[in-house]
A and B are shown apart, each in its own frame.
Chain A
Amino acid sequence: MTELGLGVATLEHEPTGRTDPDAVDATLAASGDASAFERLYRTHVPKVYGLVRRMLSDDDVDEVAQDIFVRAWQKLGTFRGEAAFGTWLHRLAVNVILARRETLGTRRKRYVEGDMVLETVPSRRATPEMSMDFEAAMERLPDGAREVFVLHDVEGYRHEEIAQMLGLATGTSKSQLHRARMALRQHLER
């Protein structure tokens, strides 16, 4: 059963200001309430799954997404509520993803210099869902450029943060982002 004593104490001394709708569930989950953690999972799995899918080009997206939530459960005790739970989870997800990419052995050179040419995206059947072509084009970016593009333009991290996460110079992060954007501009709907 949930140890509500800890939850109550935390709630009573909650500082004023912004309310994180997940904070109650995070508090309950940290006390061992798996139902609360499941609610957090259901709330955040679409965004986490999207991040994994876009950052990793291998087939184990489901496995990595599971790893992220298992890690989050293990680390709940370190969640202090200074940021929103979603922000904390997202950062943890990025760390898990980056750790995985390191364990996959040697990779080809990630940060391609020179012009970047995407393979021609095969024409798809007419669909009102325009972002499918765009997502397909993203998948064809070189790994490094795709990672920077996803972290910056899709997920909203700053170059300084990305550089630290990926072990790059800030200037490299900026140039990779620009190259990715220039390559993707051809795949916007007209």
Chain B
Amino acid sequence: MLFALLTGTLALSPIVQADTTLNAVRGQRLDVNAYAGEVTVHAWNRNAVRIVASGADQDQLEISSSATAISIRTHGRHGPPDEITLQISAPAWIAISMGGVNTNAKIEGIRAPISVETVEGEVDVTGGESLISLRSVQGSVRLRGAKGRINVNSVNEDVEVANSSGDIAAQTVNGEILLQGVNASSVDANTVNGDISYSGPIRSGGRYALSTHNGDLTLTVPEGTSAGVTVSTFSGDFESEFPVPLRGTRKGKGFNFTLGSGSAQVTLESFQGTIQLVRPGSEEDPARRKREHDRDHDED
């Protein structure tokens, strides 16, 4: 393998394979623009960015470094670039901005802001701090272990956030939204054709808004939760595994009730699906069902 420690602008001629390492200085961000292919970023403990690229030789890969950014871009000579595979090692402190069209993005171990936009690819991120924005049109978006202001968005596939904390906005049109093990004080989850499930503490003073048109809502409610709950549906059902202090129900209308002192604000809306409250660990708890599913499908 060939290493080159470089600073400044480096433009490579058409390549089959390249392995390049650049110094990284705090204050720089990492910009990756790969039209198509697989981009993987792993954190390592060096103040440097290493790029290992492999792909068709028509691709042109441009790598440059300025005071504010290390940039990696693909160019096609005639029309869009062909697919490329980029394996990038980067310092955990580096903020990442990634864009692509037919690009799958996978990022692990970064403790800095992350922004990813792709059209046809999937986004899979473990980590991220402060500001995390992940968007795909056709692919799913998965985020784990993040902390900060989180915005995850797909159009046609599922959106999943797990074991993360902060303020969460999750949106899709034709997919499910799964929020598990999240510790959030503000949640806004919205889909048209899919289910939504939320499991995590419902914090005092927090705001939680879950809304779907055609899907079911499942909210896992820990014991001792203090929340004012507003339920709205047109032709859906409401179910709860535990008694709630309802004063009356009217199917197809909305109603409110209060758990504890009503400190948090919870809004549950499903136009024609079932809105369901479950306890942690119950059979209907999505987190428990996922653990069992993963365990049953664990072939190791």
Direct contact of A and B (CB under 8 A): yes
A binding-site residues for B, Cβ under 8 Å: 16-17, 128, 130, 189
What string of 1s and 0s marks CB contacts (under 8 Å) between B235-263 and chain A?
00000000000000000000000100111
Write the residues of chain B forming the contact surface with A, with a CB cutoff of 8 angstroms: 117, 228, 258, 261-263
Chain B residues near A128 (CB-CB < 8 A): 228, 258, 261-262
Q: Which residues of A contact B263 (CB under 8 A)?
A: 130, 189
Q: List 10 A-B contacts (CB under 8 A).
A: A16-B117, A17-B117, A128-B228, A128-B258, A128-B261, A128-B262, A130-B261, A130-B263, A189-B261, A189-B263
Chain A positions within 8 Å of B261 at CB level: 128, 130, 189
Other contacts beyond A130-B263, A189-B263: 8, CB < 8 A: A16-B117, A17-B117, A128-B228, A128-B258, A128-B261, A128-B262, A130-B261, A189-B261
What separation, in Å, do the CA atoms of A189 and B260 have in the docked complex? 13
Closest beta carbon of chain B to A156's beta carbon, Å: 11
Q: How far, in Å, is A40 (CB) from chain B's closest CB?
A: 20
In the complex, A128 Cα to B261 Cα: how many Å? 7
- A130 to B264 CA separation, bound complex (whole angstroms): 11
Cα-based distance from A189 to B258 in the complex (angstroms): 17
CA separation between A117 and B188, bound complex, in Å?
A: 38
Chain A residues with CB under 8 Å of B258's CB are 128
A109 to chain B, nearest CB (A): 33
Chain B nearest CB, measured from A189 CB (Å): 8
Task: Give 8 nearest A-B pairs by CB, closest first.
Answer: A128-B262, A128-B258, A128-B261, A128-B228, A130-B263, A189-B261, A130-B261, A17-B117
Q: Cβ of A130: which chain B residues have Cβ within 8 Å of it? A: 261, 263
Contacts of B228 in A (CB 8 A): 128
Query: Once the chains are docked, how many angstroms separate the CA of A130 from the CA of B228?
Result: 12
Q: How far is the CB of B259 from chain A (nearest CB, A)?
A: 11
